Chain A
Amino acid sequence: MKEREKPVHGDDNPKPREVKRRLKSTKRISRRKRLEFEEVELPLQVAIIGGGVAGMEAASVLTEHRCPVILFEARPELGVNVKNKYKIFPDFSDAGRLVETMTKAMDHPLITVNKDTEIVEIIREPDAYTLLDNKGVPHTVPAVLLASGYEPFDAKRKEELGFGIYEGVINSLQLEDMLREHKVLNSLGEDPRRIVFLQCVGSRDEKVGNHYCSKICCITAVKQAIEVKRQLPDTEVYVFYMDLRLWGQGYEELYREAQEQYSVRFVRGRISEAASTFDGRVQIKSEDTLLGQPLKMVTDLLVLMIGMEASPGTQKLGKTCGLEGPYGFVRSKSPHLEDNLSDKPGFFLAGTCKRPMHIAEAVNDGRAAALEIIKYLRK
């Protein structure tokens, strides 16, 4: 201890200011050393695969408990999936700011962030895991947290809806960009007279093999419809749905608000096909199943509410670790008390690599996983 309080640089007669500065730096160093060697009860490093909101939240909780973390993110930035959003439901708060706050917390001495780094292989060793990244560097750690997340459904797989073929057909992420820029325009660059949202694209769809509900699209469409109406009060907005699932706190109220205050029209029916009109708009064919009538409608923009699928990383790592669950997601030990655990001791799961989740849920799940890891490492 004493030794450490000595000045680091050996200068026999320092000036008072210099002494003060050195003392300060010594203090800083000593604090960090203390963190590393004295107070730290968990000197073992935890690897987190995936730098989304779940992974970042887990990292900050782990460091609060003095546990060093090495974080891998395949993309050049952290928290991209959330950052791509504009405002998030139900309170219309700023998604960018949320990610900013979380990313700042990653600037921590105990956290090593490896961006552009993909884990390609996971080797299980006695009481440890060796992760091999795409640069061929091995990392051996006692505990791993898989938070490799989801990927938005590629609407090109539903070719009948014309995504990627007609300019007027966009997905919900593209609309989010337009909303952020305050430039919701049709394919000719004009203000749209009508916008049609279509729910359940790539979710609850036997044909594409996704039987599950992505659970965030209903409320997202309600939120986006309101935002569109706020930016373009004269635009007609329709939402085509199978059934609306507004399960969260404040969601139902938002749905009511959309109808009462913003005159958003909700039509129960699927859109069977889209075609372009001579003036660059989109013609849709559908059925209003409450009226029992087929209908055709021309719209400036057709917004496809794309669901969540397991990301390629999730699918690959799930397979290599033998944790494949349904639809390429990974499987936790049990959905109730051991949802952050896997069959393998020391291998933990968090976030949307398990199933579709909304942001708060993923953040909470990351936090819960961190606590499970600490419990495991203390043993």
Chain B
Amino acid sequence: MSSNFHPFVLPFTIGTLALFSVLILKYNKWISKFDRQQKKLIRRNLFTGKLIPAVWEMINEGLFHKKVSRYNRRLGYMHRSIALGWFLLISVGFVETVFHFQGRGHAPWIGVFFRFFVRDNQTLSAWIFAQIMDLLLLYILSGVTMAVFKSIFSKTVGMRKTTRLKLFDTSLRYSLWSIFPLRLLSESATAALADNGGFLTQSLGNLMGERFAGVVELPLWTLYSIALGLFLCLLPFSRFSHIFTELMLIYFRKMGLREREKPTGFTRFELSACSRCGICIDNCPLDSELNITDIQPVYLIRDIRNRMPHRNATENCLMCNRCESDCPVGIQISEIRRQERDKKKLDTHDNYGYIEDVQSFNAIGRVIYFGGCMSHLTPGITESMKKIFDTVGQKYWMMDEERTICCGRPLLQQGFFNQAAELRRKNTQLIMESRSKTLVTSCPICYQSFRKEYNLPIKVVHHTEYIVTMLRLGKLRLNRSELRLAYHDPCELGRGCGIYDEPREVLSALGQLLKLEQEYKNSLCCGYNLGNTVLELDQQLKVRDASLRNLTDSHPDVIATACPLCKKAFQHSTTQPIKDVAELVVENLR
């Protein structure tokens, strides 16, 4: 049997060909759907130094699954063993083939079915290769075993819940799982007959015995090839397309591509890069507090991919981004969800004429202070900020003191893109006409909007950043006491803008900051996030209470936060003092 062909290799060969042709077709289609700016970015960055970090990240994420490991080590091992193991199995197989044939021509499938085609090879190098291949196979099998366990008991790999899969995905998963045991068995059978196995396959082959192996060898190799072929054939249409798409996505992201207001080809790449690992389910407060189990990113993405997102899944989300912070692929899920919320077709008969006569103010040499609508409901914050400006001798113009124009983000989050753009246009005009150089805002929602959605040529800071700067410059001096403080990270400020340390630095300067179970990027949403207009009040309150429990567990004297909305949420339910960072600063001025 030294010939280079046997009919059983056909399923595998066809599967491989189908896989790559479909992938190329799909990627081509998606890339053609990139918008103008995205295409420009690609043209500019295609062959630049950005390739190196991109490849580095591809290796780290595609093979080693570093982010998954950071989230949970066992889950990381499971992914790594299959991805890295399989990759090495293919690579070493290829090297082995090349080594064996020494440059003589050979068929491309030989590497995959090497043991079957190359039987009479008793050299030392062949023995070493056999051992390595067995070791790799064992490595993969350990991962597959974990995966099987995970599907039954999700906790074995450290997850609370696992994704509920549809029939198509489930059957594909079984074909993936069956590949490696089948390879083990078929190689063992061949080893029994040809004595070319490694420590694992040879011993298993010896157990089989020659007679039995003779009977089952060919059927086993055929089954192995069919399992491979089936898996590869269906891969681009399933969640396993993430294996290749994730690599493309990493590359595009390194070139600076991001989600846009409307879905683009990039969105298709992101959707296709989701592996449905289910980490987002564990992180979702709607799942843990309200038992709402069909709106998590994993299900939303699946539905969008199948082109049938249901209204509930797109609307019923707090947009707290807790899912995104742990997503191993880093999919911009909130942006994708927002694209789906598009309500451009909805005629809301809005009339924004009333904002036209709002006048700007000559604020050269002053900072602009934008309290935000929510801060108008928590005057304690705006009053404190005014006091802080007076203390440091900073002149300011409170832009929304008399006539308030919303920053537009709440509308944007609900999919009212045109209306939000209208408000942004007017606010931009007011800011530009004032000729100020700095904008300070108290509301993280406005902050994120001004920073990410406005494209302003001036400096935009949140008031915690402003206070930190003033502390460092020595313009503000605080009395430090033994006050026990628990700090609540607002979603929009922390996960939204990465401002975690500034408020903590201020608080540490005036009291004792307590460690919480869930903080920084794991902070729990207060439930009042404007991202959700579907939840009933009592459901919102349940989310809030969970967040509050996390804060009160360490028995603080004061709960501190840096968002008027979070402050209001907690204020409504407890008599314990809830204070903004700015208020605490004013209370403890030296």
Contacts and interface: CB of A to CB of B under 8 A. Distances in A.
Interface residue tally of chain A, by bracket? 10 to 19
Contact of A154 (B380, B537, B575): B575
Kindly name the residue among B376, B379, B572, B575 whose own CB sees the greatest number of chain A CB atoms within 10 A.
Answer: B379
A275 B383 CA distance: 10
B377 interface: yes
Nearest to B538: A206
A208 B401 CA distance: 26
B573 A273 contact: no
A157 interface: yes
Interface in B531-562: 537, 541
Interface string A190-222: 000000000000000011110000000000000
B332 interface: no
Given A206-B537, A209-B541, A275 B379 contact: yes
A166 B376 CA distance: 13
Interface string B569-585: 00111010000000000
Contacts of A156: 571
B378 A159 contact: yes
B568 interface: yes
A265 to B, nearest CB: 25
Interface in A136-163: 154, 156-157, 159-160, 162
Nearest to A309: B575
Given A159-B568, A159-B571, A207-B572, A273 B377 contact: yes
A159 B380 contact: yes
A165 interface: yes
A273 B572 contact: no
Interface residues of B, number: 15
Contacts of B380: 159, 164-165
B572 A162 contact: no
A162 B58 CA distance: 54
Q: Which of A165, A209, A274 has the most CB of B within 10 A?
A: A165
B583 to A, nearest CB: 10
B580 to A, nearest CB: 10
A195 B192 CA distance: 99
B379 A209 contact: no
Given A206-B537, A209-B541, A157 B572 contact: yes
Contact of B573 (A164, A209, A275, A276): A209
Contacts of A276: 379, 383
A166 B380 CA distance: 9
Interface string A152-183: 00101101101011100000000000000000
A159 B575 CA distance: 13
A156 B568 CA distance: 11
Contact of A160 (B377, B383, B401, B537): B377
A264 B380 CA distance: 31
A237 B567 CA distance: 33
A160 B541 contact: no
A298 to B, nearest CB: 12
Contacts of B377: 159-160, 272-273
A94 to B, nearest CB: 32
A165 B379 contact: yes
Contact of A165 (B383, B537, B567): B383
A162 B575 contact: no
B22 to A, nearest CB: 53
Contacts of B379: 159-160, 162, 165-166, 273-276
A345 B329 CA distance: 63
Interface string A213-242: 000000000000000000000000000000
14 contacts: A157-B571, A157-B575, A160-B377, A160-B378, A160-B568, A162-B379, A164-B380, A166-B379, A206-B537, A208-B572, A273-B376, A273-B377, A275-B401, A276-B383
Given A157-B571, A209-B541, A209-B573, 7 more contacts: A159-B567, A159-B571, A160-B377, A160-B378, A162-B379, A164-B380, A275-B379
Q: A-B pairs with the 5 shortest C-beta distances?
A: A160-B377, A159-B378, A208-B572, A165-B379, A162-B379
